[in-house]
Amino acid sequence: MSSSASIQRHLEKIATRVFDSRDEGSKYVAREIASLIREKNKLGKPTVLGLATGSSPLLLYKELIRIHEEEGLSFKNVITFNLDEYYPMSPDSENSYHKFMHDNLFSHLDIDPDNIFIPDGTVTLEEMEEFCSAYENKIRSFGGIDIQVLGIGRTGHIGFNEPGSMLSDETRMVHLNEITIEDAAKNFGGEENVPRTAITMGIKSIFQARKIFLLGWGEGKADVIKQAVEGPETSDVPASFLQKHSDVLFVLDRPAASRLSRIESPWLTGECEWNERMKKKALIWLSHQTGKPILKLTEKDYKNRGLSSLLKTAGSAYDLNIEIHNSLQRTITGWPGGKPGADDKTRPERSEPFPKRVIVFSPHPDDDVISMGGTLLRLVDQGHDVHVAYQTSGNIAVFDDDARRFLDFVLGFSKKFEVAQDEVEKVYKEVTDYLRTHPDDGNGSSDVLSIKGLIRQGEAAAACRFCGVKEKNIHFLDLPFYETGTVEKKPLSSEDTDIIVNLLREVRPHQIYAAGDLQDPHGTHAVCLKAIFQALYQIKEEEWAKDCYVWLYRGAWQEWDIEDIEMAVPISPDELMKKRKAIFKHQSQKDVPVFPGKDSREFWERAEDRNRATAKLYDQLGLTEYEAIEGFRRHHFLDNA
Ligand code: F6R
């Protein structure tokens, strides 16, 4: 074994395999499961699977269904045990894991319903202990689990074994952790509706499986995966107990693996290929480690922190410091649309053509100003022809009460100005009646949703006006995939992409800005980005497209890593205040919005904290000190589309 492999193995105490996408990773696990079932079917023996719910195994289940349908794999001889179920929970309830498994897997297979075991969320507390030990006995009676599929929670839970769980725990009733409740809130329509307890197989029960696959997708899981794989074995991160199991594999996509040492700081774990990005990454890391700006780093700093090999490639610390300092400095520009007449060889954007036609895509009606309001203001001020395209209506994120308030306004308006009073009164009565009789379900009415959509349109238009965007350049795309009235969305279709293709053809932009939010796999941002990528794929051969730059901003409140920022747009204190005012135009999202997420700060506060933090990082590296910075990463769609 090479020394680098042994260092890696030393840091990674669990076997990991990193795939280019969650789709590939899921297909790999599906193949493993299918081949075991085939083998056992041949021998006339049952296969016992341990199954998980949640977003992690969804693509795996889809692939198993495909293998069953297209390759004829039979599940008649498969026994399944699910990890957990909320408690109390009736099996036919919308959020029960019984329903989840039925909808996403079992109803598509030829599995015998008698072979399906899922903890029963309807047992009484008195029956609980007996039920749990019977569940364990049942698993044992089938000879134990052959393959156990796991996801991992942000708390490090496997099953619902939250921090504090022990290796000796068997199936039992547990209390859910606060973070787990927060994560589940989206499906339950609010934290207050999430059950506080669940029944889960214990770590000991999971451990008895002969083979374990843990699926980890997305950046949101990266930190906890690092802790489980590289950290100490501790009940604070229950998944870390898997370090003791003899046959476990963490199947990860790149974002989920991104915090593993061999990816985050590969120079610490062995050989590393010193390309431009890696050099930047290493120097930013070294600067943070030593608390020194880049230009003050010494040879000793490099050598003491395991960066001798980098030093060798460059000759001296002095040269390397200057090279990386300059390349970071060059990402900073106050001219996001390019500086007319300037030498643009080392600038992020071309100076010509000037002015440029620009489309800013905003997944929800306020992401444009929240995420890149400072840049939007500059683009307009610098004379570019800026279009803003709101991809979804965002209608479910408005309180019923606000819809009601606007109805009152319209009624008052029609009376005051004596216009269409009868018609308005009719609609007013119908909608207010609906709201009164459906106090918790305004979104069940398409009229209420339309009113809410109009409220958000009005706010977005006000913000655009405030930023100087021309009225004719405001586009409300209302992509159909979003229009379900619930958090659950329809799959993306050609109807959605066609709308974007048409807009691109109409505007023929030189620059596109899009929310490159990769954090939440099923979130609206990721779907909106996919729609843009699919549209770009369709138009990439068109002449104008060859001269189009795509810039990705971060949709949520976190920023790109500094080494990935290719354009950093500084914001002065006055501009930051103006950006704040643009965000304030989104009144339905102010104070406490319908979907505040996991952060108690208001949207403008999150945006400012994030932009100030980015500026601080640049400052600490020894670059120019600004009040705030918005960061962008270029997407080379002609290569990638
Ligand atoms: C589900 C389960 C949980 C999930 C975990 C990750 O049966 O036992 O441990 O696997 O909470 O959830 P997702 O996959 O939704 O991120």
Return the best residue to mutate from 118, 157, 217, 224 for the ligand 1 pocket (most ligand atoms within 8 A of CB).
Answer: 157
Instruction: Kindly state whether residue 297 falls inside one of the protein's structural domains.
Output: no
Q: What confidence tier does 5 reach under pLDDT thresholds 50, 70, 90? A: very low
Cα separation, 281 vs 264, in Å, equals 8
Sheet holding 248-253, edge to edge: 15-19, 248-253, 211-216, 147-150, 47-51, 78-82, 116-117
Picking from 86, 84, 82, the residue whose alpha carbon sits closest to that of residue 193 is 86
Do 388 and 257 reside in the same domain of the chain?
A: no
Residue 148's pLDDT band (cuts 50, 70, 90): very high
**For atom 4 of ligand 1, which residue has the closest CA?**
151
In this prediction, residues 610-622 reach a mean pLDDT of 97
pLDDT digits 0-9 by tens, 547-583: 999 999 997 667 899 999 999 999 999 999 999 999 9
Is 409 domain-assigned?
no
Query: Average of pLDDT values for 263-267?
Result: 90
Q: What is the pLDDT of residue 487?
A: 81
Ligand 1 atom at minimal distance to the Cα of residue 82: 7
Give the residue-averaged pLDDT of 169-173: 98
Which residues are bridge partners to 513 per DSSP?
360, 551
Atom of ligand 1 nearest to the CA of 215: 14
Q: What pLDDT band is residue 366 in, cutting at 50, 70 and 90?
A: very high
Catalytic residue annotation: 162
Q: Contact at 8 Å (CB) between 622 and 325? A: yes
Which residues sit with their C-beta closer than 6 Å to ligand 1?
Answer: 52-56, 83-84, 151-153, 157-160
Map 466-516 to HEC letters. HHCCCHHHEEECCCHHHCCCCCCCCCCCHHHHHHHHHHHHHHCCCEEEEEC
| Higher local confidence (pLDDT), 338 or 1 | 338
Q: For residue 598, what pLDDT is reported?
A: 66
What is the C-alpha separation between 628 and 608, in angstroms, rounded? 8
Q: 186 C-alpha vs ligand 1 centroid, how far in Å?
A: 14
CA of 182 to the centre of ligand 1 (A): 13
| Nearest ligand 1 atom to alpha carbon 217 | 16
Coil, strand or helix at 569: strand
> What's the pLDDT band for 641 if we cut at 50, 70, 90?
very low
CA–centroid distance, 608 to ligand 1, in Å, is 32
CA distance 63 to 26: 7
Write the DSSP assignment of 526-575 as a string of letters.
Answer: HHHHHHHHHHHHHHTTSGGGGG-EEEEEPSSS----GGG-SEEEEE-HHH
CA 278 to chain CA mean position, Å: 24
User: What is the chain's mean pLDDT, rounded?
Assistant: 94
Q: What is residue 3's predicted lDDT score, i.e. its pLDDT?
A: 37
For residue 387, the surrounding DSSP H or E stretch is strand 385-390
Closest ligand 1 atom number to CA of residue 52: 7
- CATH (domain of 605): 3.40.50.10320
Partners of 79 in the β-ladder: 48
Give the residue-averaged pLDDT of 177-189.
Answer: 87
From edge to edge, which strands make up the β-sheet containing 385-390?
A: 474-476, 385-390, 357-362, 511-515, 549-553, 628-635, 567-571
Residue 522 in domain = yes
Pocket test for ligand 1, best of 55, 86, 98, 152 (most atoms within 8 A of CB): 152
Count of structural domains within the chain? 2
DSSP state of 523: S
Q: How much is the pTM?
A: 0.82
SS3 18: strand
* Position in ligand 1 atom list of the atom nearest CA 159: 8
Contact indicator for 509, 358 with CB cutoff of 8 Å: yes
Residues 6+ apart with CB under 8 A from 74: 37, 41, 68, 110
Report CA(151)–ligand 1 centroid distance (Å): 5
Residue 66 sits in which domain range?
10-234+248-262
pLDDT at residue 1, as a whole number: 36
> From residue 593, how far is each of 120, 339, 394, 480, 587 by CA, in Å?
35, 38, 12, 23, 9
Nearest residue (CA) to ligand 1, atom 9: 159
599, pLDDT greater than 90:
no
How is residue 270 annotated by DSSP?
S
Is 276 within the bounds of a domain?
no
Query: Can you say whether residue 159 is alpha, beta or left, with left for phi > 0 and alpha for psi between -120 and 50 degrees?
Result: left
pLDDT > 90 fraction of the chain, expressed in percent and rounded: 86
Q: Is the pLDDT of residue 623 over 50?
A: yes
Distance from C-alpha of 111 to C-alpha of 69, rounded to nearest angstrom: 13
pLDDT of residue 82: 98
Residue 241 lies in a domain: no
Quick one: pLDDT at residue 556? 64
Q: At what angle do helices 603-620 and 367-381 cross, to 10 degrees?
A: 60
What average pLDDT does the segment 422-437 reach? 96
User: To the nearest whole percent, how much of the chain has pLDDT over 70?
Assistant: 97
226 and 367 assigned to the same domain: no
346 CA → ligand 1 middle, Å: 46
Q: Which stretch of 176-180, 349-353, 554-558, 590-594 has the lowest confidence by average pLDDT?
A: 554-558
| H-only helix segments in 125-237 | 125-141, 178-188, 203-207, 222-230
- Count of other CB atoms within 10 angstroms of residue 170: 17
For 8-26, what is the mean pLDDT? 88
Q: Please report how many Cα atoms fall inside a 13 Å half-sphere around the Cα of residue 601, on the Cβ side.
A: 11
Mutate to test the pocket of ligand 1, among 83, 99, 219 (most ligand atoms within 8 A of CB): 83
Q: What share of the chain is helix, strand, coil (3-state, %, to 5)?
A: 50, 15, 35
**Least confidently predicted of 255-269, 282-296, 416-430, 584-598:** 584-598
Q: What is the CATH number of the domain that holds 64?
A: 3.40.50.1360
3-state secondary structure of 215: strand
Which residue type, as a one-letter code, is found at position 20? D
CA angle 386, 387, 388 (to 5 degrees): 120
DSSP character at residue 192: G
Average pLDDT over residues 349-355: 96
- Name, in order, each residue with C-beta under 8 angstroms of 285's C-beta and a sequence gap of 6 or more: 265
Which candidate, 507, 496, 508, places its Cα nearest to that of 535? 496
Inside any domain, residue 280: no
Q: 235 C-alpha vs ligand 1 centroid, how far in Å?
A: 18
Q: What is the dihedral of CA 251, 253, 257, 258, to 10 degrees?
A: 180
- Read off the amino acid at residue 139: I
Question: 559 in a domain, yes or no?
Answer: yes
Residue 343: count of CB within 10 angstroms of its CB: 8
Q: Is residue 347 part of a domain?
A: no
